[in-house]
């Protein structure tokens, strides 16, 4: 019988305190609902027709799950953004976010047989769905960290609204251009990591990274379960055979003490610190840190302090059943890093090889966006997603307030659902004083503030959205981003989903010219869920 996983996920934590210790010390397995349609079960032929499924040489990454009766996965998300009148608050301010874990994790659920009603609404973060994919965006001008692409077009799920597309992109970096790196992998080897989609997949993922890493520097491995253990310290990245031998020796047993391992990892990262290089702790876990932490805030404060030394933290999530999404997202946010979810060797290659420079090399830190809307053009706006990245307007100019971190070649997409103004409205901001300058063709100004990796003071760049950005025929960028956003609204049963439908998502996608395997996979996921919800 299928379980409805949408409600009560946080309550499960309190209900399962006794069993959570066991989950941390023993082997936890998937609790996905059984697929109703045989053709979409994880072992069926149709499942492997997805464009981005694993190639034959990685067939060992295809898993058959045994489903226990209890699921202790936990997710958190603030209340969904609502519409804001420009006359009341013309400023929308948020920290940039390049995490993609939400999309990959929900993809895992769909491929495991979940219907829309089975997927917890809190697991769906629209910005991470949208930012998972690549877009054809303008590259930065010389001396700028970000290039910008803007567009205004129709809203697919509400004919009375428009969508304003804001796309930011940093400069690409080839893997052979990577700066010297000091990488410390902090690996959870507790009993809960024994499942095939956890430590075994993690080991294959790390070997894929090692085989393809072309930069100079050192690699260290710290493991933690009942206690931390240093498996490798300061090993030359060129010694691939020795590093892979150490990775092969990893095995899962014992309980989880993430705090102890974290301190050791930062200690090693500090010892091998490379001035001007990549200094990063990469934590790989299912997030079930249930032993050894008396106060979660204490660990987060520790990580926050350490990022000021130039050592950043990224998090790789694995597995299901006892997956702790919220705790991993918070740790990555505190550590100036990104948060990814690895559900297959395909995803491992995407995150650790194809996007290696984006994952490892930060080019803009404490990055923030503030959009000022012109009340003469825009009546109201609603930012789709970024609920946990919202900032006060005054925080935008405060360099002490933390923003987001963006890697080389990363793109950040923000979609605003807007209504247009019927008449001019005066407001005491840039767009009020039309005696000095005419802003009649401007819809908004996009302000971007960020710090260079080694800097303490921020830089400011501003871009204007004008009548020239209003398009009768939407670009492929706009159409695809809208399709992904619409799908996320359906899965989360958003109060703002309007007339959103699977059919419309599929119809919009059919008009897009693309050879992107990940985008093709996306539409296959839409079709899977549509069939289950008939």
**Domain identity same for 487 and 520:** yes
Q: Assign residue 336 a region (left: φ > 0; alpha: ψ between -120 and 50; beta: otherwise).
A: left
Residue 263's nearest CA partner among 298, 310, 217 is 298
Give the domain CATH number at 534: 2.60.40.1230
Q: Residue 423 falls within a domain, yes or no? A: yes
Confidence (pLDDT) at 439: 78
47: DSSP letter: G
Confidence (pLDDT) at 432: 53
Q: Which domain-ending residue is among 301, 325, 349?
A: 349
Give the domain CATH number at 308: 3.40.50.410
Q: Which domain-ending residue is among 328, 349, 370?
A: 349
Q: Which domain-ending residue is among 349, 371, 390?
A: 349
Phi then psi for residue 289, to 5 deg, are -85, 85
Angle formed by the axes of helices 325-334 and 101-111, to 10°? 160
SS3 letters for 55-97? CHHHHHHCCCCCCCCCCCCECCCCCCCCCEECCCCCEEEEECC
**Domain identity same for 166 and 247:** no
Confidence (pLDDT) at 175: 82
* Dihedral in degrees, nearest 10, Cα atoms 44, 203, 123, 159: -70
| Tokens standing for residue 186 | 């902090």
First to last CA, the chain: 18
**Domain identity same for 374 and 266:** no
Please tell me the pTM assigned to this model.
0.85
490: number of Cβ within 10 Å: 22
| Tokens standing for residue 339 | 């948060």
Quote the CA–CA distance of 342 and 360 in Å, as a whole number: 16
**Domain identity same for 92 and 221:** no
Q: Residue 314 falls within a domain, yes or no? A: yes
| Tokens standing for residue 192 | 């809960």
Q: Residue 277 falls within a domain, yes or no? A: yes
Q: Residue 42 falls within a domain, yes or no? A: no
Helix (H) or strand (E) holding 419: strand 411-420
**Domain identity same for 313 and 168:** no
Confidence (pLDDT) at 215: 87
pLDDT tens-digit readout, 44-100: 333 333 334 433 333 333 434 444 446 789 999 899 999 999 999 999 999 999 999
Confidence (pLDDT) at 19: 43
Q: Assign residue 313 a region (left: φ > 0; alpha: ψ between -120 and 50; beta: otherwise).
A: beta
**Domain identity same for 365 and 333:** no
**Domain identity same for 112 and 186:** no
Q: Residue 454 falls within a domain, yes or no? A: yes
| Tokens standing for residue 105 | 């994790």
Ranges of the chain whose pLDDT falls below 50: 1-24, 28-30, 34-69, 291-292, 294, 423-426
Residues facing residue 217 across a β-bridge: 181
Annotate 420-483 with DSSP letters as a single string: E-SS----SSTTT-TTT---TTEEEEEEEEEE-TT-SS-EEEEEEEEGGGB-SS--HHHHHHHH
**Domain identity same for 225 and 371:** no
Residue 111's nearest CA partner among 61, 60, 46, 67 is 46
**Domain identity same for 142 and 168:** yes
Q: Residue 204 falls within a domain, yes or no? A: yes
Residue 405's nearest CA partner among 95, 169, 128 is 95
**Domain identity same for 336 and 372:** no
**Domain identity same for 115 and 164:** yes
pLDDT tens-digit readout, 268-310: 999 999 999 999 999 999 987 654 454 778 889 999 999 999 9
Q: Residue 221 falls within a domain, yes or no? A: yes
Number of domains into which the chain is organized: 2
Q: Residue 276 falls within a domain, yes or no? A: yes
C-alpha angle 90-437-379 in degrees, rounded to nearest 5 = 25
**Domain identity same for 384 and 524:** yes
Cβ contact 348:205 at 8 Å = yes
* Domain around 267: 178-349
Confidence (pLDDT) at 434: 52
Confidence (pLDDT) at 46: 34
């Amino acid at each position: 019988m299928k379980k409805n996983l949408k409600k009560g996920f946080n309550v499960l934590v309190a209900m399962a305190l006794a069993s959570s210790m066991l989950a941390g010390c023993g082997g936890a397995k998937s609790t996905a609902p059984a697929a109703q349609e045989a053709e979409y079960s994880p072992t069926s032929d149709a499942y492997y027709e997805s464009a981005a499924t694993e190639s034959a040489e990685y067939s060992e990454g295809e898993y058959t799950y045994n489903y226990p009766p209890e699921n202790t996965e936990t997710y958190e998300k603030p209340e969904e953004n609502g519409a804001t009148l420009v006359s009341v608050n013309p400023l929308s301010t948020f920290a940039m976010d390049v995490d993609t874990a939400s999309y990959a994790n929900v993809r895992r659920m769909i491929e495991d047989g979940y219907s829309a009603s089975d997927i917890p609404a809190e697991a769906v973060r629209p910005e991470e769905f949208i930012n998972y994919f690549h877009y054809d965006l303008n590259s930065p001008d010389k001396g700028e960290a970000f290039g910008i692409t803007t567009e205004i077009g129709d809203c697919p799920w509400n004919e009375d609204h428009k969508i304003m597309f804001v796309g930011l992109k940093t400069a690409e970096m080839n893997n052979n251009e990577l700066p010297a790196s000091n990488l410390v992998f902090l690996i959870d080897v507790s009993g809960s990591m024994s499942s095939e989609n956890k430590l075994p997949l993690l080991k294959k993922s790390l070997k894929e990274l090692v085989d393809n890493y072309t930069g100079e520097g050192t690699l260290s491995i710290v493991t933690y379960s009942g206690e931390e253990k240093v498996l490798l310290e300061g090993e030359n990245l060129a010694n691939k055979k020795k590093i892979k031998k150490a990775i092969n020796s990893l095995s899962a047993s014992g309980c989880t003490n993430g705090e102890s391992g974290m301190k050791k990892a930062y200690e090693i990262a500090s010892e091998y610190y490379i001035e001007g290089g990549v200094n990063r702790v990469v934590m790989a876990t299912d997030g079930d840190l249930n032993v050894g932490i008396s106060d979660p805030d204490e660990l987060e404060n520790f990580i926050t302090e350490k990022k000021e030394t130039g050592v950043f933290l990224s998090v790789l999530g694995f597995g299901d059943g006892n997956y702790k999404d919220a705790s991993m997202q918070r740790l990555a946010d505190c550590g100036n890093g990104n948060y990814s979810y690895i559900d297959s060797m395909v995803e491992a290659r995407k995150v650790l090889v194809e996007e290696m420079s984006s994952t490892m090399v930060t080019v803009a830190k404490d990055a923030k966006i503030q959009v000022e809307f012109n009340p003469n053009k825009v009546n109201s706006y609603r930012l789709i997603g970024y609920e946990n990245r919202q900032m006060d307007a005054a925080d935008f100019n405060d360099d002490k307030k933390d923003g987001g971190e963006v890697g080389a070649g990363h793109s950040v997409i923000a979609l605003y659902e807007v209504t247009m103004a019927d008449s001019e409205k005066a407001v005491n901001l840039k767009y009020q004083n039309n005696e000095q300058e005419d802003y009649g063709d401007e819809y908004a100004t996009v302000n971007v503030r960020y710090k260079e990796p080694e800097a303490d003071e921020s830089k400011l760049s501003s871009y204007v959205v004008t009548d020239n950005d209003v398009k009768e025929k939407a670009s492929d960028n706009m159409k695809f981003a809208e399709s992904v956003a619409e799908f996320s609204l359906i899965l989360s049963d958003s109060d703002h989903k309007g007339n959103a439908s699977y059919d419309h998502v599929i119809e919009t996608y059919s008009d897009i010219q693309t050879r992107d395997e990940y985008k093709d996979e996306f539409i296959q996921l839409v079709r899977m869920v549509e069939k289950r919800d008939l």
